[in-house]
Chain A
Amino acid sequence: MRLTYTFLVIGFLTAAFTGCKDPKEETTPFDKEALLRNFADRIIVPSIERFQSDINALQTSFTAFETDRTAANLEEVRTKWKTAYLQWQAVKIFDFGPIRNRAFKASTGTYPTDTVKITSNITAGGYDLASINNIDAIGLPALDFLLYRNDAITYFAGDDPYTTYTKNVIQKMVTETQQIVSAWSSYRATFIASTGTETTSAFSGLVNEFNRDYELAKNAKLGIPIGKQSLGIQLSEYIEARYSGISLELLDNNIRYLDNLYKGNSFNSGLNGVGFDDYLKHLERSSLDGTIRGNFASIRSSIGAFNGTLEEEMNTNTTGLDALYTQMHGQVVSLKTDMTSAFGVLITYQDNDGD
């Protein structure tokens, strides 16, 4: 008897909710696979391929500099290095799959670079750049020191260990980038099909790495140097790319690429595709989407307002940097708490009964 009643209630409810379904919902529903496909084909793979051509161009320019060591040729190497480093901001977000498996993020972008270690490697010789001990003596940050230290050109003389070290650092990146490009071509299919909510799924990995990279930008590129984790004492030795002074450009690029990813903008054409924003709109969280967009825009305009390098601004404009930091902090809550919870992505992998 009671069971019949239960069925009636369920049937009634089902009918009721089907009945009041919004009839204008006829647009194509949001699809995670479409998002992953857009990310893979129009953002991730093109970004990695561009990085590869940038790194190769860096190597070519360095070879030219090796044969003819003029200041102009060194300047060319620096320009190529800078292009590659700015492009690296688009690649380092994707620390999962092949990039995670090969620890590519750590070997390419660990900073602050250990100048003492680099110098002693060069003096002593017989170094192994693949060793975990040398993780902060290689990659783009090591080149910042090698190419931009005072009177850098005087260190490149003849068939010297300094030149060889620089060449080896570049060569390592060329080789590894090549490996990542080919690994991604086979990983692509796995990535696109992995749409679940468990942490092992590509979608969860992507959301988590997106958040992690944003927090890393906030903390490592800005917070730590300006003293946010050291009782307000500035730590200029933690500034990224301190010798070239491009820290704020790197930060700006980092945020730009995260913003583009959020919106699903194609890397090459800039045209808008399926992104996190579409997922939020599909979930009827348009106001959150507006907040996140607004935050990205205002963060980028604040970064653009600085004229000097990060180190110069740290000496003259701590208020401006503090304000930027606060802005960036606010965005963490929108991304990590609001966006992630709206997506229903799990942070932990253990059994979870939702309590």
Chain B
Amino acid sequence: MWFGWVSSLYIQPDYYFGYLGFEWVKPLPGNWMYTPFIFMIFAAVGILFGFLYRFSAALFFLCFTYVELLDKSNYLNHYYFVSLMTFLLIWVPANRSLSLDARIRPRIRRETTHRWHIGIFKFQLACVYVFAGIAKIHPDWLFDAQPLRIWLQAHHHLPLIGDLLREKWVAYAFSWFGCIYDVFIVVFLLSRKWFAFAYFFVIAFHMITWYLFPIGIFPWVMIFSTLIFFPTAFHEKIVRFLHNKLPKHKGEHMTKPPSSEPSPWIRRLLFAYIFIQIVVPFRYVIYPGNLFWNEEGFRFSWRVMLMHKEGHATFYLRDKATGRESEIDNTRFLTDTQEDQMATQPDMILQYAQILKEHFDGKTLRYGEHEFPISDPEIHAQIYVSLNGRPSRLFVDKRHDLTQLPYNLAHREWVEPFEE
């Protein structure tokens, strides 16, 4: 089924892990959840053909971001990237040429545009690559070739390259090449001399990742987005080619170039956007402890392919009145994906504890002739996590009543320290 995953991710779950401050974003009831996806299809077609362009871009951004905000179990850097790119699309006039809008209203036609309309996308792509590269300058990645060592060996059955992938040096080569590629590729894409050569690497790099890792459409998104680094002449050639294929249309040809400098307001907003994009990935420095272990300041930072984390979480309901304790069957409350994500992410662990507390608070549990009216129960958890191929170790100790711990952005003392 095309839409099978919509149901398993956004209709079937009983509970959702909202983002801090965005818990009010809730899924639509039942099959209504398909509507944002249907809107997205229309909006994408609108963007493609430049029809009701700005409206389409805004609609796509809103629907996509709405869906992403529903449940952080489904967070991916790639989805965040799509949200940002479509947000930027709203503010640029990408429908001024070769579009249905320009055909319907010829007076909006333009041959030139502000430099920032192109530059901001280059900046956004540069952020993804450079920050992903900086994040790879990490001992696990460079000196242990983890997690690539785990992921590559799992493909040892592939024809031709399978035997290579079980070699340790190949994992190191991939790690180092990936790091150097991410850090430097933008420099070469920006160079007039090297961009074509660099683009060859872009294709090769993303095709390899597409072949080996389940990262969906992301490689294609990057392969096509990076074309924006090509010189204007290249894009003009494509535009002219398409123009000639289309039936001629009447109407004056507006060539009045816009003023070359953006207005002060736009400039301020651009600076603000760029500032946020640069600062957010570095926010982890204000937290003590191991970033991969604690995951404080981990999301929205282009930390891609860096971590293989596996956890096992046992939650306990403790009745305050009797001191008795029950193990929770997580599958009663969460989907496999949610349980898997929750077990290794401290903020989700606290959210799950609240879900459990609210579920049991005020209920009377009956076992045979025994009755237990549950009021204000404690929720404890014993969690073990394995990070990047290390043996698992205690992540959350059972001694904490998780319902009493604050859910906010402050450093979480209750996560067991990570010691090498």
Contacts and interface: CB of A to CB of B under 8 A. Distances in A.
A344 B386 contact: no
A271 interface: no
Contacts of A350: 5, 9, 74, 214, 337
A71 interface: no
B416 to A, nearest CB: 14
B157 A32 contact: yes
B322 interface: yes
Contact of A337 (B147, B304, B310, B372): B310
A354 B326 contact: no
A344 B153 contact: yes
Interface of B is mostly: mixed
B312 A9 contact: no
Interface in B209-259: 213-218
A336 interface: yes
Nearest to B212: A197
A62 to B, nearest CB: 35
A18 B171 CA distance: 12
Interface string B318-359: 010010111111000000110010000000000000000000
Given A288-B391, A353-B304, A355-B77, A337 B384 contact: yes
A185 B389 CA distance: 37
Nearest to B201: A3
A103 interface: no
Contacts of A353: 76-78, 213, 215, 218, 304-305
A340 B310 contact: yes
Contacts of B299: 355
A17 B304 contact: no
Interface size class of B (residues with CB under 8 A): 35 or more
A13 B176 CA distance: 8
B336 A347 contact: yes
Given A341-B386, A346-B214, A235 B367 contact: yes
Interface string A323-354: 00000010011101110111111111111111
A198 B314 CA distance: 25
Interface size class of A (residues with CB under 8 A): 35 or more
A345 B329 contact: no
A6 B178 CA distance: 12
B382 to A, nearest CB: 9
Nearest to A335: B312
Contacts of A3: 188, 194, 197-198
B304 A338 contact: no
A18 B76 CA distance: 35
B314 A231 contact: no
A340 B392 CA distance: 11
A130 interface: no
Contacts of A198: 214
B150 interface: yes
A338 B308 CA distance: 11
Nearest to A32: B157
A329 B327 CA distance: 12
A8 to B, nearest CB: 11
Given A233-B367, A333-B384, A10 B177 contact: yes
A341 B308 contact: yes
Interface stretch (B22-30, B57-65, B161-169, B401-409): B161-169
Given A342-B389, A352-B215, A353-B218, A9 B180 contact: yes
A2 B180 CA distance: 11
A115 B102 CA distance: 75
Contacts of A229: 326-329
Nearest to A232: B324
Interface in B148-197: 150-151, 153-157, 163, 166-169, 172-173, 176-177, 180, 184, 187-188, 194, 197
Given A10-B177, A345-B154, A354-B306, A233 B368 contact: yes
A348 B151 CA distance: 15
- Looking at B180, B217, B310, B322, the one whose CB has the most chain A CB atoms below 10 A away is B310
- Looking at A31, A230, A341, A345, the one whose CB has the most chain B CB atoms below 10 A away is A341
Interface string B367-397: 1101010000000000011100101100000
B215 A338 contact: no
B98 interface: no
- Looking at B154, B188, B308, B326, the one whose CB has the most chain A CB atoms below 10 A away is B154
A153 B367 CA distance: 33
A191 B112 CA distance: 58
B365 interface: yes
B311 A17 contact: no
A157 interface: no
A338 B391 contact: yes
A24 interface: no
A351 B169 contact: no
A329 B383 CA distance: 12
Given A288-B391, A351-B214, A351-B216, A336 B156 contact: no
B151 to A, nearest CB: 5
Contact of A355 (B213, B306, B340): B306
Contacts of B173: 10, 13-14, 17
A95 to B, nearest CB: 15
A6 B180 CA distance: 8
A33 B389 contact: no
Contacts of B184: 2, 6
B312 A343 contact: no
B303 interface: yes
Contacts of A233: 367-368, 370
B307 interface: yes
A247 B369 CA distance: 25
Nearest to B329: A229
A219 interface: yes
A352 B76 contact: yes
Given A353-B77, A353-B218, A231 B319 contact: yes
A341 B157 contact: no
Contacts of B309: 341
A229 B365 CA distance: 11
B310 A232 contact: no
A134 interface: no
A195 B162 CA distance: 12
Contacts of B328: 229
Contacts of A352: 76, 213-215
Contacts of B157: 31-33, 195-196
Given A32-B156, A233-B367, 4 more contacts: A30-B156, A227-B367, A350-B337, A355-B304
Question: What are the 4 tightest A-B residue pairs by CB atom distance, in nearest-first order?
Answer: A17-B169, A351-B216, A344-B154, A341-B310
29 contacts: A3-B197, A9-B180, A17-B169, A17-B172, A21-B167, A32-B157, A196-B157, A197-B155, A227-B367, A229-B328, A230-B326, A230-B367, A231-B365, A233-B367, A233-B368, A333-B312, A337-B311, A337-B392, A338-B392, A341-B309, A341-B389, A344-B153, A347-B337, A348-B337, A351-B214, A352-B215, A353-B213, A354-B306, A354-B307
